[in-house]
Structure 1
Amino acid sequence: MRAFELRHLGIDATTISRAVERGDLVRVARGLYQKSDGQVDGEQALAEASRLVPKGVIAMLSALAYHGVTDQMPRKVWLAIGSKDWAPKVSYPPVHFVRLGANYLNQGIEHHMISGVSVPIYGVAKTLADIFRHPKLIDRSMAIDSLRQTLTNRKATAAQIAEAAKSGRVWKTVQPYLEAMTSNG
């Protein structure tokens, strides 16, 4: 929980500090606390980043890794925020911000429970469109490999990927790869 949520429940800062000293709570990051006996997921960094940046959506490499369509494990949590949103300083977990326009920011969001937190994460098709849309951030070969793994593991259909690519305005880039991977020839 975030510190302000604990204060909203009537727990003051002194009580929070005492709970940390006793070992009842663990201070994960500034203003972020977890019960000492709380369940820890492998993706807990995603939940922590989501709590610290409430307007953020797990995106790009972090979303690909969460959905299991890349072999790479990102060193930072990739978070999409609005083009004019404030990007807070986050000491832990390390965060890489990607700025998206308001109309594109709210497309393709799914909510997944991680460590008891509802975390907004972009769906596979939307994430693929994003990585093809930002070739300076993510290498094209990785985008192609993720597209291949998505189709092989049936994480999204070719139609869903095509729809996301069209709404993300990268259909002309994605189309030849998608056609090559789905042709029966």
Structure 2
Amino acid sequence: MQGSSQKILQLLKTHAVLRPADLDDLGIPRITLNRLYQRGQVEKVARGLYRLPGAQISEHHSLAEAAKMVPKGVICLLSALRFHDLTTQAPHEIWMAIDRKTRLPVNKALPIRFVRFSGPALIEGIESHIVDGIPVAIYQPGKTVADCFKYRNKIGLDVALEALKDCLRNRRCEADTLWQFAKICRVSNVMRPYLEALNA
């Protein structure tokens, strides 16, 4: 049991958060994690999520927690904009895309706002980023901008326009890439005048 405890503590030095399910593949009994928690050697940050007390975490740590909680979700919209430095806003919720047929997770420990995508709009433009040792699926800048135009009624057209301008100005993606994602998200007619004006 002592060896199992050490393995968990070592794992938490490279992976900021851990779920009990993560221990199954390693052959470590889940009760070991609970004992470490009872002894104060790990702390619970949300239901089913543990980390080392006082662990150094990045500004995007909540995205790592969300990725652990919803492994098939993709960080999108305002949260993806913030990650890519394409907005001045700091969303108080984590925006996450899930498949239309996926059941909503019951865990309410994190403030996650789910949006349902399907087909190419769900699977295209996904990048994997390591945040505090955790792989996090996040839509790339061009896809995120197109998504913002699609959901402009939820997040505001001004936010989508700011993201579009910053994306082109800072060369986060080419106009052709934006156009490609505009078609995938079915917002090419909405984005066309803005893209043309910015490229004039």
TM-score, L = length of structure 2? 0.86
Which of 125, 134, 139 matches 1:117? Answer: 134
Matched residue SS, 1:46? helix
| 2:183 matched residue in structure 1 | 166
Structure 1 CA distance for aligned equivalents of residues 141 and 184 of structure 2? 14
- The answer to whether 1:73 aligns with 2:90 is yes
CA contact (8 A) 1:47 1:117 kept: yes
Where does structure 1 lack aligned partners over 5 or more consecutive residues? none
| 1:95 matched residue in structure 2 | 112
Q: Once the two structures are aligned, what percentage of the paired residues are identical?
A: 40
Matched residue SS, 2:152? coil
Structure 2 CA distance for aligned equivalents of residues 27 and 8 of structure 1? 21
- The answer to whether 1:26 aligns with 2:43 is yes
Structure 1 CA distance for aligned equivalents of residues 117 and 88 of structure 2? 25
Deviations 1:57-98 (A, max 9, x none): 000100000000000011110000000101102323200000
Matched residue SS, 2:113? strand
More moved, 66-75 vs 148-157: 148-157
- The answer to whether 1:107 aligns with 2:124 is yes
TM-score, L = length of structure 1? 0.93
- The answer to whether 1:50 aligns with 2:59 is no
Q: CA deviation at 1:37?
A: 5.6
Which of 117, 122, 136 matches 2:153? Answer: 136
Q: CA deviation at 1:25?
A: 1.5
Matched residue SS, 2:154? coil
Matched residue SS, 1:86? coil
Where does structure 2 lack aligned partners over 5 or more consecutive residues? 1-17
Q: CA deviation at 1:133?
A: 1.0
Tell me how many residue pairs correspond in the alignment: 183
More moved, 85-94 vs 117-126: 85-94
Which of 126, 137, 145 matches 2:162? Answer: 145
Structure 2 vs 1, CA of residues 150 and 103 (structure 1 numbering), >3 Å: closer, same or farther? closer
